[in-house]
Structure formats: structure tokens, C-alpha cells
Amino acid sequence: MIPVTKPYLPDREKLARYIDGIYERGWLTNNGPLVQKLTSRLEEYLGVKNLLLVSNGTLALQIAYRALGISGTQQKAEAITTPFTFVATASSLKWEGIEPIFADIDADTWCLDPANIEGAITPQTKAIVPVHVFGSACNVEAIEQIAKKHNLKIVYDASHAFGVKYKSESLLKHGDAATLSFHATKLFHTIEGGAIIFKRKESLERAKKMINFGLTGSEAIDALGINAKMNEFQAAMGLCVLDEIQVNLQARSDIWNTYEQALSNKFQLQARPKELEQNYSYFPVALKNKDSTKLTLEKLKEKNIQARRYFYPSLETTEFFQNRNNQTVSRSIAERILCLPLHHQINKEDQDLIIELLYS
Ligand SMILES: *Cc1c(COP(=O)(O)O)cnc(C)c1O
């Protein structure tokens, strides 16, 4: 079977040495030395400040909403977001009592289209939650202008954008917060895990308390909190995966570039801004229509190749969310999208076969 993605497993002996250290210290969680080390290594690698490690990418979003005061108050709140994303972007809002209000995506970049945001704003709107989908960049300048004008917070779901640069700087610097997922299937992972990058130090300090039950000492409860801590075993995996990230990136970029060369003339690919340095996380292709997408999926399946309809369905079509505006672009892309197999261990023959089947 050729899976659509495959977790990166780093050098096992190195991981064992980290685990030996955990055994010696007997310090398994609660901001241990490996979590601290991974925090500073990631801040350095990504070129960001105010990074907080958490137990997964969904809690990263929830904590970000809380730390920025979007959720957790008695007021009714809404946030404008994209229907073309993994369900956690919208479900995390709803879970926090914030109604996700969808605005349609751009037909070329597949990210939230700034032109559709203002029409979705109501007196209840507290935030914009865009997604740097497939690791491309949203129109961050236009979104920031709208947020300023209407006094809204911005939380980027940057789960796909690990290490992505825009205009020579980390894309994660945009927004009041940007969140990452370190799930096993993501480019960089800690088995399960995530992080929040805050613009301001005060938000980071608030979030630090929140992820540890609101405790500030053994006898002081300073805030209402939850448990969202990363543990030492997760951090050990992260440190090892980070050490080998160049190998992973090189393998992926070779595969990514081969796909692009073979497919860009015939198929619709995601448009990305010129000044983007991408991370080769995904290779999405939009086919002609729903039927050809299903047919291609079947042809691949026959040869034991797994492609994914990622992201399908467009979220406004599910029973859990409302659809106040029309999401025609998102629906059209969601019906035609396939993410092709992309990970560090796809060999040339398999990739040639995938490309051949797409043309067949
Ligand atoms: C993976 C992902 C998440 C959820 O992250 P977890 O770490 O699995 O909780 C959220 N949003 C997007 C866009 C994702 O791809």
C-alpha cells in the first residue's frame, strides 16, 4: 500500500538516549527540561517568540481563543472562518461557545477570501480565524486591515504552515496568535502535540496558566484553567524529529517538485503568493469535476494507492454548523480535491505510477 502520508520516525537510538534521561530524572511532565528545550529550539528554528507547547493542535486553538478573550466570557461570540479546512478549526470554536460563521474561499489560493469577510461581520463578531491551508499563506495584509478596522482578533490556524516563510519572515508572526499541530501525520510532529505562537508576551503568560489548571504555585489558583500540557516523551520525539527535519524536507521537496512538473499543465493546483517559502507538506490537486475525482480515486485504490479527499465535505454542509452565506467556491473545490501521497519515503516508481494514473 502507498499511504497518503506516513509519520516520520527518527533515529531510534537517539530517542532511547532521551528516554534514558527521562528515567534518570523521573520528571515526566509539568514543563520538564525536554519541553523547555524543545520550546527554545522551536523558537530558534521558526524565528518566533512567545511559543507555548501544548498537548495537541485542537487545544492550541481553544487555548488561543481563551487567552485572547474571544471565548470564556458571558457574551455571545462569533468568529469568521473558512469552510475549507479540517473540521477542528470550526469545531474548536463551537466547543468554546463561539459560533463559526463561514466566509467563502478564494478560487485560486483556497484560503479565506478577504473580500467575503466584511459581509459576514455582525455586532457579535469577535475574531477572524483563517487557515493557511496546505501551508500556503492567507492574504495576511488584507485580513489585518479588516481586523483593525473592526477591532477583531486574528487567530491563524497554521497547522499546515510549520516553517513556512512569507516575505523572508516566519508566516507564524501574523495574527494575535498562530497555532500549530504536531500530530503524527504532520510535517513536524511530537506524536500528538501542538503549539501557539502569540504576538504578545501577556497573552503567552495568560495561556501558560490556563494549560496547567490555572495554577501559579502549589497553593495558588490564579485563573480558570484546563489541562493542555505537553509531556516529556512527546518533547523527546519532537527534539529527534527536529534534528532530522532537513532530511525530511529534502525528500519531500524532491517529490513535490516532480509532481508539480508532471501535473501543472493539465490540472488545477493551488496558487501560492510569490514571496512564499513553502514546506512541501501536501500536494493537493483539483480535478475537473466530482465524477472524475471519484473515478481517479477508484483507479488509485485499485493499485493500492491512497489519496485523500482532503478537505471534503465543505464544512457548511455538515449538520453541526450553520451556513449564513453561500460557500459555492469551497463546495466546488471540496468536491474536486485530492491530496496525493506525499511523505519522505515515496520512491520514484510509485510516484510515476501515481502520475500515470492521474492522466489515464
Ligand atoms: C491537524 C489539524 C488540526 C488539529 O490538530 P491536532 O493536533 O490533530 O489536534 C487543526 N487544524 C488543521 C487545519 C489541521 O490540519
| HEC profile of 204-250 | HHHHHHHCECCECCCCCECCCCCECCCCHHHHHHHHHHHHCHHHHHH
Mean pLDDT of 153-159: 98
Cross-strand pairs, 221: 215
Taking the centre of ligand 1 as the mean of its atom positions, its distance from the CA of residue 154, in whole angstroms, is 17
Domain boundaries, the chain: 12-103+111-243, 245-359
Closest atom of ligand 1 to 58 CA is 9
Statement: residue 72 has pLDDT above 90: no
Measured in Å, residue 349 CA sits from the centre of ligand 1 at: 31
What is the per-residue pLDDT for 119?
96
220: left (phi over 0), alpha (psi -120 to 50) or beta: beta
**CA–CA dist 327, 330 (Å, integer):** 5
Pick the CATH number of 12-103+111-243 from 3.40.640.10, 3.40.1010.10, 3.20.10.10, 3.90.850.10: 3.40.640.10
**pLDDT by residue (tens digit) across 209-257?**
999 999 988 889 988 999 999 999 999 999 999 999 999 999 999 999 9
Q: Place 99 in a pLDDT band, splitting at 50, 70 and 90.
A: very high
Q: What percent of the chain has pLDDT over 70?
A: 100
Residue owning grid cell 512569507: 166
Q: What is the CA radius of gyration of the chain?
A: 21
User: Given this structure, which CATH class describes domain 245-359?
Assistant: alpha beta
**Ligand 1 residue neighbourhood (C-beta within 6 Å):** 56-58, 85-86, 88-89, 131, 157, 159-160, 181, 183, 194
pTM check: above 0.85: yes
CA of 200 to the centre of ligand 1 (A): 23
The 3-state DSSP composition of the chain as helix, strand, coil percent (nearest 5) reads 40, 15, 40
Distances (CA, A) of 333 to 157, 241, 284, 312: 19, 33, 10, 9
Quote the cell numbers at residue 291: 465524477
Indicate which atom in ligand 1 lies nearest the CA of residue 181: 7
Contacts for 250 with CB less than 8 Å, ≥ 6 apart = none
pLDDT digits (tens, 9 = 90+) for 13-30: 999 999 999 999 999 999
Of ligand 1's listed atoms, the one at least distance from the Cα of 160 is 15
